[in-house]
Chains A and B, each alone.
Chain A
Amino acid sequence: MKIEISNLQFSYPDGVQALRGISLIIETGEQVAIIGQNGAGKTTLVKHLNGLLQPTSGSVHIGEWDTRKHSVAKLARRVGYVFQNPDDQLFSKNVGTEVAFGPKNLGFNGDQVQALVKDALALTELSDKTETNPYDLSPTWRKMVALASIISMDTDIVIFDEPTTGQDAANIARIANVIKALRERGKTVITITHDIDFCAENFERVIAMAQGQILLDGRANDVLGQEEILATTYVDPPQLTRLGKRLGFKETVRNEEEFLAALRG
Chain B
Amino acid sequence: MAIVNLQNITYKYPLTETPALRNITLQVEEGEFVAVIGPNGAGKSTLCYTLAGFVPHFFKGELAGSVEVAGQESSQSTLHEWVLNVGLAFQNPFNQISGAKYTVFEEIAFGLENIGVPREEMKQRVTDAMKLTGISDLADRSPYSLSGGQQQRVALTSILVMQPKVLVLDEPTSQMDPIGTREVFGVIRTMTEKGMTVVLVEHKVEWIANFADRVIALYEGQILLDGKPGEVLTSDLLVEKGFGISRYTSVARKAMKLGLWKRESLPVTLEEAVEGFTR
Contacts and interface: CB of A to CB of B under 8 A. Distances in A.
Contacts of B244: 168-169, 172
Contact of A235 (B177, B245, B274): B177
Nearest to B243: A169
Contact of B251 (A165, A166, A172, A260): A260
Contacts of B148: 38
A247 B278 contact: yes
Nearest to A200: B247
A97 to B, nearest CB: 24
Given A167-B40, A169-B244, A259-B251, A247 B277 contact: yes
Nearest to A239: B247
Contacts of A247: 274, 277-278
B133 to A, nearest CB: 16
B260 A260 contact: yes
B273 interface: yes
B116 interface: no
A170 B148 CA distance: 24
Contacts of B242: 168-170
A141 to B, nearest CB: 9
Interface size classification for chain A: 20 to 34
A211 interface: no
Interface string B171-189: 1001111111000000000
Interface in B231-279: 242-248, 250-251, 254-255, 258, 260, 270, 273-274, 277-278
A78 B20 CA distance: 43
Contacts of B248: 239-240, 243
B41 interface: yes
A241 to B, nearest CB: 10
B220 interface: no
A151 B84 CA distance: 48
Contacts of A197: 247
Given A168-B40, A168-B203, A263-B255, A238 B247 contact: yes
A235 B178 CA distance: 7
A148 B164 CA distance: 43
B277 A168 contact: no
A171 B258 CA distance: 29
A28 interface: no
B35 to A, nearest CB: 15
A39 B251 CA distance: 33
Contacts of A240: 247-248, 251
Interface in A23-67: 37-39
A67 to B, nearest CB: 26
B18 to A, nearest CB: 13
A246 B273 CA distance: 10
Nearest to B246: A239
Contacts of A194: 177
Interface string B135-148: 00000000000011
A109 interface: no
A260 B174 contact: no
Interface of A: 37-39, 138-140, 165-172, 194, 197, 234-236, 238-240, 242-243, 246-247, 256, 259-260, 263-264
23 contacts: A38-B177, A138-B40, A140-B40, A165-B174, A165-B175, A166-B91, A167-B40, A169-B39, A169-B244, A170-B40, A171-B40, A194-B177, A235-B178, A239-B246, A239-B270, A247-B274, A247-B277, A256-B250, A256-B251, A260-B251, A260-B260, A263-B255, A263-B260
Please provide the 7 A-B residue pairs with the shortest distance between their CB atoms, ordered closest to farther: A169-B244, A239-B247, A168-B40, A168-B39, A170-B242, A234-B179, A140-B40
Given A38-B147, A194-B177, A240-B251, 7 more contacts: A38-B148, A168-B203, A235-B178, A243-B273, A246-B270, A247-B277, A256-B250
